[in-house]
């Protein structure tokens, strides 16, 4: 009776873990390659689309500023008396009231520099699109690799649960014959419960990651989940100095910083060009009346810029330029530090993978097999077998975690350097 009560939870837990692991990996179609997920994000992500539209708007504005200004046409109010030429020479009378169109032909010396500043500003905004694009791709890669790791953990837990079920069932059979101890069986069942709890937590994380990934790919929340391919080791033989050099020349943030410096420099040049005066040439036409001839008035205006306003504009533009340069220097150091950090993770995780694959996993398996053989010949306790089995399971977990760290580090390095590493 006692043996039956111990065996029942074993069967229930075994079924629970098996079903949860199978449900996570089956029934969702074929795996989607990472390259396909990245391409889908680039094509469908709405943040990228919004920034592209904003950039195109700024490009149209730059074209407008760079082009010649159109002449302006104004219409004077009929309620205003327009002097005729003979009135200007003192020949008497007032012109009749009427519609009086006027034209304006402007010329500005700073037009070219203002247009150049607008063009550089548009280029800086275009560089921001690349920053958003690579950031979204980096998020897709990170989530995809994490999902692949969790699905591989499902398989590991499934196998571990099945092996532990066989061990516990054998111990329960021995216990029913008066051998073994109840405490060891209960301890093994506790370890299986921990496996079930880990699987439940993994299911929760997978659900959140799938929601985030669908948002990045612009998929409906209720669409089928994306099943990743299994994570495999990518050989990595790049030098840290090579990656740092690539980051300095190809990192989207550093490129955008350079574009922003160019834009602020162009704004400063435009502010300095403002001292050149604006010239306005205009005319006024008064239609003839019963006793008046047609009348024309030619006007010429020159706008001299106030000195205080010019100094303020130049000062503000100079400060913005220095701010952009300082920010660019800070971004450069930060990106190079991140390259070094990810490089260390890639190298160290590769070493951990080698240690697990060539040393820890086979050695722990040998220990487990030795303990299992001793247990079967009544020379080892059941608790020693379970402990050795859990050690092997832990090292296989460490191997998958190191593999995830390695591939994620390479994905981040691709974002930082613009290089193809995976």
Q: What is the mean pLDDT of residues 273-287?
A: 62
pLDDT at 8 over 60: no
Give the pLDDT score at 66: 55
Q: Which residues pair with 76 in a beta bridge?
A: 100
In whole angstroms, what is the distance from residue 132 CA to residue 122 CA?
A: 16
In whole angstroms, what is the distance from residue 279 CA to residue 301 CA?
A: 6
Strand order in the sheet with 295-303: 72-76, 100-107, 278-286, 295-303
Outline where DSSP puts E strands in 211-277. Answer: none
In whole angstroms, what is the distance from residue 259 CA to residue 249 CA?
A: 13
pLDDT band at 392 (very low <50, low <70, confident <90, very high): very high
User: Greater confidence, 354 or 266?
Assistant: 354
Stretch among 87-91, 127-131, 237-241 having the lowest mean pLDDT: 87-91
The domain that holds 31 is classified in CATH as 1.20.1600.10
For the ranges 115-129, 241-255, 284-298, 377-391, the one whose mean pLDDT is highest: 241-255
pLDDT band at 72 (very low <50, low <70, confident <90, very high): very low
For the ranges 74-78, 268-272, 344-348, 382-386, the one whose mean pLDDT is highest: 344-348
Domain count, the chain: 1
pLDDT at 82 over 50: no
Helix (H, G, I), strand (E, B) or coil at 265: helix
Q: What is the mean pLDDT of residues 219-247?
A: 93
pLDDT band at 17 (very low <50, low <70, confident <90, very high): very low
pLDDT band at 56 (very low <50, low <70, confident <90, very high): confident
Give residue-wise pLDDT tens across range 111-146.
667 777 777 777 778 888 888 899 999 999 999 999
Cα angle for residues 233, 239, 245 (degrees, 5° grid): 120
CB 276 within 8 A of CB 303: no
Give the pLDDT score at 353: 96
Q: What is the mean pLDDT of residues 227-253?
A: 93
Answer yes or no: is 401 within a domain: yes
Q: How many CB atoms lie under 10 A from the CB of residue 334?
A: 12
C-alpha torsion angle, residues 146, 148, 154, 159 (rounded to 10): -130
Q: Roughly how many angstroms between the first and final C-alpha of the chain, as a whole number?
A: 58
Helix (H, G, I), strand (E, B) or coil at 221: coil
Give the pLDDT score at 10: 45
pLDDT band at 200 (very low <50, low <70, confident <90, very high): confident
In whole angstroms, what is the distance from residue 42 CA to residue 209 CA?
A: 19
Q: What is the mean pLDDT of residues 268-293?
A: 65
User: Greater confidence, 362 or 113?
Assistant: 362
Give the pLDDT score at 141: 96
Give the pLDDT score at 148: 96
Stretch among 77-81, 137-141, 296-300 having the lowest mean pLDDT: 77-81
For the ranges 103-117, 154-168, 246-260, the one whose mean pLDDT is highest: 246-260
Where does residue 401 rank: exposed (0-12), middle (13-18), buried (19+ CB within 10 A)?
Answer: middle
Give the pLDDT score at 342: 96
Answer yes or no: is 383 within a domain: yes
With b for 16 or more beta-carbon neighbours within 10 A and e for fewer, the 284-320 pattern comes to bbbeebeebeebebeeeeeeeeeeeeeeebbeebbeb
CB 355 within 8 A of CB 419: no
CB 39 within 8 A of CB 235: no
Answer yes or no: is 422 within a domain: no
pLDDT band at 333 (very low <50, low <70, confident <90, very high): very high
Answer yes or no: is 139 within a domain: yes
Tokens encoding 147: 């999902």
User: Greater confidence, 195 or 27?
Assistant: 195
Helices (H), 74-110: 85-88
In whole angstroms, what is the distance from residue 163 CA to residue 170 CA?
A: 11
Name residue, tokens 């160019």. Answer: 262
Name residue, tokens 């050989």. Answer: 235
Residue 89: which domain range?
2-417
Q: Enter the DSSP assignment of 97.
A: P
In whole angstroms, what is the distance from residue 195 CA to residue 396 CA?
A: 14
CB 194 within 8 A of CB 405: no
Q: What is the mean pLDDT of residues 238-267?
A: 91
How far is CA 310 from each of CA 106, 266, 272, 316, rounded to the nearest angstrom? 20, 15, 8, 10
Answer yes or no: is 410 within a domain: yes
In whole angstroms, what is the distance from residue 215 CA to residue 37 CA?
A: 12
Give the pLDDT score at 394: 93
Would the CA dihedral through 36, 41, 44, 49 be positive or negative? Answer: negative
Tell me the average pLDDT of the chain: 79
Closest CA to 71 of 276, 282, 302, 274: 282
């Amino acid at each position: 009776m006692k043996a039956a009560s111990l065996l029942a939870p074993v069967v229930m837990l075994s079924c629970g873990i098996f079903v949860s692991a199978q449900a996570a990996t089956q029934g969702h179609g074929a795996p989607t390659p990472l390259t396909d997920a990245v391409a889908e994000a680039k094509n469908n992500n709405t943040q990228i689309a919004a920034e592209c539209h904003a950039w195109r708007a700024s490009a149209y504005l730059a074209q407008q500023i760079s082009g010649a200004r159109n002449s302006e046409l104004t219409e004077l109010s009929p309620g205003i008396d327009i002097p005729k030429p003979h009135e200007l020479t003192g020949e008497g009378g007032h012109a009749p009231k009427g519609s009086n169109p006027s034209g304006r032909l402007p010329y500005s010396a700073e037009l070219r520099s203002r247009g150049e500043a607008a063009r550089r500003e548009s280029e800086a905004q275009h560089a921001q699109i690349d920053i958003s694009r690579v950031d979204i791709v980096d998020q897709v890669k990170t989530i995809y690799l994490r999902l692949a790791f969790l699905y591989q953990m499902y398989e590991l837990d499934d196998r571990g649960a099945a092996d532990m079920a066989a061990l516990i069932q054998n111990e329960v059979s021995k216990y029913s014959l008066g051998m073994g101890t109840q405490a060891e069986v209960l301890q093994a069942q506790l370890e299986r419960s921990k496996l079930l709890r880990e699987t439940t937590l993994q299911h929760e994380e997978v659900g959140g990651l799938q929601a985030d990934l669908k948002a990045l790919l612009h998929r409906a929340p209720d669409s089928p989940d994306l099943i990743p391919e299994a994570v495999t080791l990518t050989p990595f033989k790049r030098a840290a100095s090579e990656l740092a050099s690539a980051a300095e020349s190809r990192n989207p943030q550093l490129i955008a910083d350079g574009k922003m410096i160019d834009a602020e420099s162009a704004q400063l040049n435009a502010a300095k060009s403002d001292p050149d005066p604006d010239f306005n040439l205009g005319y006024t036409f008064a239609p003839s009346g019963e006793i008046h001839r047609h009348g024309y008035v030619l006007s010429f205006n020159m706008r001299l810029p106030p000195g205080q306003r010019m100094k303020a504009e130049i000062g503000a533009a100079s400060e913005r330029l220095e701010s952009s340069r300082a920010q660019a220097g800070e971004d450069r150091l930060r990106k190079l530090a991140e390259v070094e950090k990810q490089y260390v993770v890639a190298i160290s995780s590769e070493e951990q993978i080698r240690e697990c694959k060539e040393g820890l996993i086979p050695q722990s398996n040998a220990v487990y097999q030795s303990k299992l053989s001793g247990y079967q010949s009544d020379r080892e306790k059941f608790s020693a077998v379970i402990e050795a089995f859990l050690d092997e399971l832990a090292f296989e977990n460490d191997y998958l975690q190191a593999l995830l760290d390695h591939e994620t580090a390479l994905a981040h390095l691709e974002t930082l350097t613009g290089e193809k590493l995976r």
